[in-house]
Chains A and B, each alone.
Chain A
Amino acid sequence: MPLSMVKKGESNKIVKVGGKEEVRRFLEKLGFVAGSPVTVVSENAGNIIVNIKDARIAIGRDMANKILV
């Protein structure tokens, strides 16, 4: 299921990060690696704020669609 469809407050484990190589690499560095738990904190028109490894990261909708949990 893409991260953009996850319910607020629910903890999920990341399965796969897709998208362009450059952005995928950047996300991996921010902690979006397979197995990492991730929680959606807030959602605004598909753009989301997630909690991962104790950091809050804002992600645009296009990218949130490409992160599978």
Chain B
Amino acid sequence: MAIKMALAGNPNSGKTTLFNALTGAGQYTGNWPGVTVEKKEGKWKARKDVTIVDLPGIYSLSPYTLEEVITRNYLLSERPDVILNIIDGTNLERNLYLTTQILELGIPVLVAVNRMDLVEKSKDRIQMDQLGELLGCEAVPISAQKGTGVLEAAEKAVALAQKQTSFALPYAFDERVERAIASVGERLGSDIPAERKRFFAIKLLERDDKIVEQIQTLPDVSDAIEALERTFDDDAESIITNERYACIASVLKSCYVKNETNRLTVSDKIDRIVTNRLLALPIFAAVMFLVYYVSVTTVGGWATDWVNDGLFGEGFHFFGYEVPGIPVIAERALQAVRCADWMQGLVIDGIIAGVGAVLGFVPQMLTLFACLGFLEACGYMARIAFIMDRIFRRFGLSGKSFIPMLIGTGCSVPGIMASRTIEQDRDRKMTIMTTTFIPCGAKLPVIAMIAGAFFDNSGWVACSAFFVGIAAVVCSGILLKKTKAFAGEAAPFVMELPAYHMPTAGALLQSMWERGFSFIKKAGTVILLSAVALWFLQGFGWVDGGFALLEEGQAEYSVLAAIGGILAPLFSPLGWGDWNMAVAALTGLIAKENVVATFGVLSGYAEVAENGVEIWSVLAAGMTAAAAYSFLVFNLLCAPCFAAMGAIRREMNNRNWFWFAIGYQTALAYAASFCVYQFGTFAATGTFGGGTAAAILVTAAFLYLLFRPDLELKRVYGKKKLGINI
């Protein structure tokens, strides 16, 4: 018999760790609430007929966030055979709140008390048998991270699923509340099975408007709600919440002894320092500096140099032996088999140059992912949201928007996905639109190329790129908040902070590898294909009235030049109206690493380092510094790569919003690089032309949008005086 087992529990209670332990899957875990944003399925290693579903963490079965909706809909409509409810043993009371709701679903439940190792360490005592008895289901101790008790829990859950016995709740709410629930339950139609009547009755009493869709014949229960609210002088949902907590308190009284001696935990002590009013921002800045220093300059930098100069370059010395690099080996091999010239060109100048330019970047990416993974796993990520909230709030964003952006420094795709933890729809949409402004890992090579070719490798180019990204986020926040669609305060900041813990090396390597691997996969697929396509497009063209393979120096006749030529005039106001650059910007839409790879293929260098050091002179000859910086700004801000656009589309879940996001990003990119080029040229040459005037107009319009009085705010708070504590 095929069995479906659902893992449900509070955010950050260890569901995904348990899921990985049972299925052997490498799902991504982190120590901040909301890591899992989609349900994931896997087969139990020990029994392939058991499907395990990892659900996003939730605090209750009411629909407050997207994750709660996903989880609730799954439990209600898919009806798993058994629910494995994971609760955090170090936080029993709060975790049991969800349990009291899950028990009402009429599905067999096994309660697994996680983090037992920590519970024992702090000398708290939980009597499992009694806890299970008082809840009306079985309770087992586990430690998902250490792997203890995990198999026993899964086996017990499967046994429960096979038995499918119904059970009665051993506890009850206040008599008057129970009476109201019973009376609403009687009014429910026969489409609701008896064991689920309690769940639906309570939801109706709570005025849950989303549950209405699940009920065919909807009874009128307003009289019951009113009567209840009059009796308790409170609203119905709060009454029931209070009842649940009252029941939990009485359950815990007889089975849980907390060791009261050590009130201030280690996490609290760390929090006193890292979230301290004075130290919080300097500590955060130092941590971020360290992350980038380690991944870009030291460890990642060394490894990247080795890959570029050695593996994808001339070769390297290994204990005195000379080992040739891949391009050298490939060239020798192809010459040895007397391969056709064009084939050699395709392999060496097309594939190895294009893909190598991207693969050379992998060590830096892996180091960055490892650092970000560590920040997430140890629990600091959630504190960053807290620290940044007071700053972000001024721009109409919540501190929670900072987590997507920080993850976005690695790659925008997981960054965009992480925006799901933001409850308010418009805050989330704004975060999705602005996350890609932060330079992701793939944009680093572009930055490095421009810095090297035009600015003497100066460090401030990379710095300024981040600054441009942050400025774009901040300005967009202010500007969009003043439009009708985004008007209104950001939702109040409420977020659970996990306890700090040292991540295991395995989990860290896993998260690093999983994210890094998608980069490598991309190099082998999308970038390989586009390098091949680019090579053909630039290698063939119309010469002397016929379509033929081009000789050296005939690049301007190529198909690619023709395509680029059509697009180029569009970019000439930005200073880079050359077909090469237009093509590079275009291929950047497929993947940003492609920008450098494209230059590699176009300039015909077999080997282009990740920062394109070989083509610097070619580039520098063709453009002014102002144009180069404008090119950089455009690539930083414009519509991101295909993968990120796909993520935006999925998360927006609405075609109009998707196109609005892409359109806004591209328009902002175009306007910003136009101004950069025009003002830069004016500063360098001193000639005031039509372009300069236009740039002044664009800047003025932008400043107006940024500083205009907030009409929407006035409309919403029309009668209240502005400026006084709204």
CB-CB contacts of A12-34 with B at 8 A, as 1s and 0s? 00000001101111111111011
B residues less than 8 Å from A6 (CB atoms):
none
The reply to whether A44 and B267 form a contact with Cβ atoms under 8 Å apart is no
Residues of B contacting A68 with CB < 8 Å?
Answer: none
Residues of A with C-beta under 8 A to B267: 56
Please judge, given known A-B contacts A29-B62, A30-B59, whether A58 and B390 are in contact too, CB under 8 Å: no
Bound complex: CA A41 to CA B97 (Å) = 23
Q: A residues 38-61 with Cβ under 8 Å of B?
A: 41-47, 49, 51-61
With A29-B59, A33-B242, A34-B242: A46-B390 Cβ-Cβ less than 8 Å = yes
Cα of A62 to Cα of B398 in the assembled complex, Å: 12
* Chain B residues with a Cβ closer than 8 Å to the other chain, count: 45
How many pairs, one residue from A and one from B, have CB atoms within 8 Å of each other in the complex? 120
Of B237, B280, B423, B493, the contact of A63 (CB 8 Å cutoff): B493
A26 to B493, alpha carbons, bound, how many Å? 11
- B386 near A49: Cβ-Cβ < 8 Å: yes
Q: Is the CB of A45 within 8 A of B90?
A: no
Complex-state Cα separation, A49 to B385, whole angstroms? 12
Of the four ranges (under 10, 10 to 19, 20 to 34, 35 or more), the interface on chain A belongs to: 35 or more
Given A44-B276, A49-B271, check contact A60 B497 (CB 8 Å): no
> Could you tell me the dominant secondary structure of chain A's interface residues?
mixed
Check A31/B97 contact, CB under 8 A, given A49-B275, A56-B496, A57-B494. yes
Q: B317 to chain A: closest CB distance in Å? A: 53
**A residues less than 8 Å from B242 (CB atoms):** 28, 33-34
Q: How far is the CA of A19 from the CA of B60 in the complex (A)?
A: 20
* Cα of A20 to Cα of B390 in the assembled complex, Å: 20
Q: Mark B114-127, 1 if CB is under 8 A from A, else 0.
A: 00000000000000
With both chains docked as a complex, state the minimum distance between the C-beta of B649 and any C-beta of chain A, in angstroms: 27
What CA separation (Å) do A58 and B385 show in the bound complex?
A: 9
Contact residue among A24, A54, A63 (Cβ-Cβ distance under 8 Å from B91): A54
Q: Are B497 and A29 in contact (CB under 8 A)?
A: no
Does B491 sit at the interface, judged by CB under 8 A?
yes
- Per-residue CB contact flags for chain B residues 53-74 toward chain A (1 = under 8 Å, else 0) read 0000001101010000000000
Given known contacts A26-B59, A54-B91, A49 and B492 CB-to-CB distance under 8 angstroms: no
Cβ A55 vs Cβ B91 within 8 A: yes
Tell which of B62, B277, B393, B492 touches A44, judged by Cβ atoms closer than 8 Å: B277
Residue pairs across A and B with Cβ atoms less than 8 A apart, 25 shown, are A22-B64, A25-B64, A26-B64, A28-B241, A29-B59, A29-B241, A30-B94, A30-B494, A31-B94, A33-B238, A33-B241, A41-B271, A42-B268, A44-B280, A44-B390, A45-B277, A47-B386, A47-B493, A49-B275, A53-B93, A58-B383, A58-B495, A59-B492, A60-B398, A63-B494
